[in-house]
């Protein structure tokens, strides 16, 4: 398994492509937007420069990693020789189901189809393909090149062989794979998102301000980043989407998104990526400061 296709050149997609390419895999990075592909490659290059500056890799390592990545705007062309596809598109069920229908038609019959979804049912995704036994979740953490965990999610029909293959593959990437079952939010977001949502509720109810809430959690609970700052980093639209999936899946009011989160997303205040969330990132320098603090 040396040819890996990655669908989506955004934050998660380019991080996944970076990680596979740095581990010696030939990566086909696919996105419908040529501009997104250019931005994705630029981000990978910038992150590699940071690693060179820290003397974690050499300039030759950087060149080899970038040389392992080829970009495509067509799914059919990009997955032609892929042994594994990792989908990392926007967390939208209709979009993902459509992508997996295309992948099922375009990929070789022995290609494993993985999704980086952070909450959507693997079983539901697999059901739109003719190979549900070969559909699995690979939930990487952000930033992908640094974070060690990969949640490996088995759908109801995912085979033991595919699960074992992906577990071992994750280890070759220097990751720690952890197998979980297919329920809304899996483990990471089932625990994380209610905490972030409760932090937003705390702000919404006027218990304390943004910086005060984050300070309590950083200094009192030893979190490297406050929950509101973390929500900004993840993307408030992503947080809302995950909470909606869990609320729909469990019908439990504890997963209902806070009205403040809903209104902020409606207003386009999505966090770092939009320039404003719970904090102001209108100056690019401020956004970079937050990212660097997290990456230390």
189 noted as active-site residue? yes
Contact 127, 154 (CB under 8 A): no
Is 170 assigned to a binding site? no
- Cα of first residue to Cα of last residue in the chain, in angstroms, is 32
Please pick, among 18, 139, 170, 276, the residue that the annotation labels catalytic: 139
Can you state the percent helix, strand and coil of the chain, rounding each to 5?
55, 15, 30
151 noted as active-site residue? yes
Helix (H) or strand (E) holding 146: none
Is 118 assigned to a binding site? yes
Helix (H, G, I), strand (E, B) or coil at 279: coil
Is 221 assigned to a binding site? no
Where are the extended beta strands (E) located within the chain?
A: 3-7, 26-30, 69-72, 84-87, 112-115, 135-140, 149-154, 176-181
Helix (H, G, I), strand (E, B) or coil at 123: helix
Is 231 assigned to a binding site? no
Please pick, among 83, 118, 241, 244, the residue that the annotation labels catalytic: 118
Is 42 assigned to a binding site? no
Q: Report d(CA 139, CA 159) in Å as an integer.
A: 18
Please pick, among 119, 151, 197, 276, the residue that the annotation labels catalytic: 151
Is 92 assigned to a binding site? no
CA distance to 6, 82, 164, per residue, from 108 (Å): 15, 8, 20
Q: Report d(CA 58, CA 295) in Å as an integer.
A: 19
197 noted as active-site residue? no
Is 142 assigned to a binding site? yes
Which are the contacts of 171, defined by CB distance < 8 A and separation ≥ 6? Answer: 177
Structure tokens at 294: 């997290």
Please pick, among 68, 83, 119, 189, the residue that the annotation labels catalytic: 189
Is 31 assigned to a binding site? yes
CA distance to 11, 97, 139, 152, 168, per residue, from 90 (Å): 10, 12, 13, 19, 26
Is 214 assigned to a binding site? no
Is 11 assigned to a binding site? yes
Contact 97, 104 (CB under 8 A): no
Could you list the residues known to form a binding site for NAD(+), using ranges.
8-13, 31, 91, 96, 118, 142, 273
Please list the active-site residues: 118, 139, 151, 189
Could you list the residues known to form a binding site, using ranges.
8-13, 31, 91, 96, 118, 142, 273
């Amino acid at each position: 398994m040396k040819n890996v296709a990655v669908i989506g050149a955004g934050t998660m997609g380019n991080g996944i492509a970076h990680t596979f390419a740095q581990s010696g895999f030939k990566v086909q990075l696919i996105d419908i937007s040529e501009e997104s592909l250019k931005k994705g490659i630029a981000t990978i290059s910038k992150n590699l420069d940071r690693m060179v500056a820290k003397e974690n890799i050499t300039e030759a390592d950087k060149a080899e990693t970038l040389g392992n990545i080829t970009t495509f705007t067509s799914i059919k062309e990009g997955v032609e020789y892929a042994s594994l596809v990792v989908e990392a598109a926007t967390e939208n069920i209709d979009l993902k189901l459509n992508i997996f229908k295309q992948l099922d038609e375009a990929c070789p019959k022995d290609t494993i189809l993985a999704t980086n979804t952070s909450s959507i049912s693997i079983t539901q995704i697999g059901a739109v393909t003719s190979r549900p036994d070969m559909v699995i979740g690979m939930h990487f953490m952000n930033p992908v090149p640094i974070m060690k965990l990969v949640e490996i999610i088995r759908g109801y029909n995912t085979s033991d062989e595919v699960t074992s293959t992906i577990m071992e593959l994750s280890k070759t990437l220097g990751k720690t794979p952890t197998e979980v079952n297919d329920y809304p939010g899996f483990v990471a977001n089932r625990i994380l998102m209610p905490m972030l949502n409760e932090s937003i509720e705390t702000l919404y109810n006027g218990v304390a301000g943004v910086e005060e809430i984050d300070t309590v959690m950083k200094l009192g609970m030893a979190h490297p980043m406050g929950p509101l700052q973390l929500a900004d980093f993840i993307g408030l639209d992503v947080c809302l989407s995950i909470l909606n999936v869990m609320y729909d899946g469990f019908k439990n009011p504890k997963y209902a998104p806070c009205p403040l989160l809903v209104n902020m997303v409606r207003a386009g205040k999505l966090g770092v990526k939009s320039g404003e969330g719970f904090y102001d990132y209108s100056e690019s320098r401020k956004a970079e400061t937050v990212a660097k603090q997290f990456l230390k």
